[in-house]
Amino acid sequence: MAAPVYRTGLSPRFRALAFRLLLLLAGCLQGGPVAAGWWGGGDQALPRVQVAEPYTEWRTGPASGYPVVRVSERGEWLQLVMRKTGWLKVRDEQGREGWVAMADIGRTLDARGQPVELGAIEFDDFSLRQWETGLMAGAFEGAAVISVYGGYWMTENLALELSGSQVLGEVSEILMVNGSIVHQPFPRWRLSPFFTLGIGQVFTFPKATLAEPENRDNTAAHAGFGLRLYVSDRYFVRAEVKDYKVFTNRKTNEEATEWKVGLSVFF
């Protein structure tokens, strides 16, 4: 007699997905410092700082809107448990926990009595950024465009960028991948202009309702101009206009103008 086969109720596809999710979770739990305090526990070898100012304020949450619930006096030792944006969760010697602004931790001393080199992200960090990434939206020849990009600064003035865009037009959908070189003449300006030059690939998918839908794949070159405006913390606003020349195998090349505005983060 054959052994009975039980249904688990989960399809193999779902089980594979669940397994992958579990793996991801396990990865998060193991991941070095990430593991500490995942469920509020795990405090081995947390970095410690000593309050050097007359006092340091604790809040109940990682934002300036949360109320101040405690102060640490000069000389008290605090463990740094975790960070959320510009706030650090601290634990004192009695095991009490609260949130202290990163800028305040920047005025404490470490175990060797040296000032702690932590602080709020400021404009100087923006000028010295190495990586940036952002999301932008705008119009490409009148059609809506959504774009994601990433860039690496080789020098203060020169960066390499890679972007992917989706254009959602009335008659076609266009996917674009572009590589460009970006030059900013004034890296220390809060409102900093830049110039960009690059090439890419344009994939056009006409809508199925058209008479002769034919997918096209063309190379395009572009030149553009834009502005970055540093706002605060790790982010800035970016706006740009690009002029594309799409090389077709027809008699004439096509031209397209695109403008976009978006928000970017730097590291």
- What residues make contact with another protein under the rule CB under 8 A? 28, 31-40, 45, 47, 49, 60-66, 80-89, 110-112, 114, 116-118, 135, 137, 143-144, 146, 148, 166, 168, 173, 207-208, 232-235, 263, 265
Shortest distance in whole angstroms from residue 188 CB to another protein: 22
- Residue 23 has phi, psi (to 5 degrees) of -60, -45
Shortest distance in whole angstroms from residue 249 CB to another protein: 26
Q: Which is nearer to another protein, 234 or 245 (CB)?
A: 234
Shortest distance in whole angstroms from residue 224 CB to another protein: 21
Q: Which is nearer to another protein, 48 or 245 (CB)?
A: 48
Encoded amino acid at 264, one letter: S
Q: Which is nearer to another protein, 62 or 224 (CB)?
A: 62
Q: Which is nearer to another protein, 158 or 231 (CB)?
A: 231
Q: Which is nearer to another protein, 33 or 193 (CB)?
A: 33
Compute, in degrees rounded to 10, the torsion defined by CA atoms 244, 247, 248, 250: 100
Q: Which is nearer to another protein, 135 or 221 (CB)?
A: 135
Shortest distance in whole angstroms from residue 195 CB to another protein: 26
Q: Which is nearer to another protein, 71 or 111 (CB)?
A: 111
Shortest distance in whole angstroms from residue 47 CB to another protein: 5
Max Cα-Cα span within the chain:
82
Shortest distance in whole angstroms from residue 218 CB to another protein: 20
Shortest distance in whole angstroms from residue 32 CB to another protein: 8
Nearest to 173 by CA among 194, 131, 202, 135: 202
